Amino acid sequence: MFNAWSNLMLPEVELYLVHLPGREKRIKEVPYTHLLPLAEELTEALYPYLDKPFAFFGHSMGALISFEIVRKLRSRFSLYPVRLIVSAKHPPHVPDPHPNIHHLPDDELFTESERLYGSLPKIISEDPEVLKFFLPIMRADFTLIETYQYTSSAPLECPITVFGGNQDNSVNEHELSAWSEQTVVGFNLKMFPGDHFFIQGNRVALVQEIIKELLLLS
């Protein structure tokens, strides 16, 4: 999803893509089912590359992961990104109003996932073998999100930008605005047309907004 962003970014912005276990070239690895151990591992892995100004972007589950990485960088290294950019996810301190679904049988998990987050690509949803392979990864992600427990801490001393989709059934604009409580520096919120995966249909416009946010800091 993010590979094409390299061609849209400013030439002075280097894009680092995080490949989580259970995805793409790491598809044979066991996916994480708890957020904090994953954030711990990623913090250690990313730290050597953070010797220049950096920002984080996290979509959906990635928003929570990015948030916890930033908190770990603060507590361990007194280090902040120039901006935390998140999309399509409730702020960590706000309880998710939707019931947990990670424990549901496969067919119900699939149905609830599509209701909240939109339809899966047909190459997955219409091929029983591919869907059977994909469902455990989905279940692991939902388990990670739904078992995450937020611990209260001081707001971040870096600005936060939030993006959302106007037709996203999983989170609305009012809920996204509560991310403002997690920073004491600056906050921006912008909504796009589309559902939970609005970042696909609005790729160019979204990257342009990210560039604007980064230019505010230059």
Rounded Cα distance between 30 and 33, Å, is 9
Residue 68, classified by CB atoms within 10 Å of its CB into exposed (0-12), middle (13-18) or buried (19+), is: buried
pLDDT of residue 100: 94
| Position with higher pLDDT, 28 vs 44 | 44
Tokens 């979204």, located at residue: 206
Domain boundaries, the chain: 3-98+140-215
Confidence band of 24 (pLDDT split at 50, 70, 90): confident
CATH of segment(s) 3-98+140-215: 3.40.50.1820
pLDDT of residue 217: 62
Active-site annotation holder among 60, 66, 87, 170: 60
Rounded Cα distance between 118 and 195, Å, is 7
* 150 half-sphere exposure, CB direction, 13 A CA radius: 15
- Read off the tokens for 212: 């604007």
Confidence band of 103 (pLDDT split at 50, 70, 90): very high
* Residue 218 reports pLDDT greater than 70: no
Rounded Cα distance between 190 and 208, Å, is 12
Mean pLDDT throughout 6-23? 90
Structure confidence by residue, pLDDT tens digits, 118-141 = 887 777 778 888 888 889 999 999
Confidence band of 93 (pLDDT split at 50, 70, 90): very high
Rounded Cα distance between 6 and 15, Å, is 6
Task: Give the DSSP per-residue string, 5-52.
Answer: GGGTS-TTPPP-----TTSGGGTTSPPPS-HHHHHHHHHHHHGGG-SS
* Residue 28 reports pLDDT greater than 70: yes
Percent of the chain whose pLDDT exceeds 70 = 99
- Whether 60 is catalytic: yes
Mean pLDDT throughout 199-218? 88
Contact 162, 176 (CB under 8 A): yes
Contact 82, 55 (CB under 8 A): yes
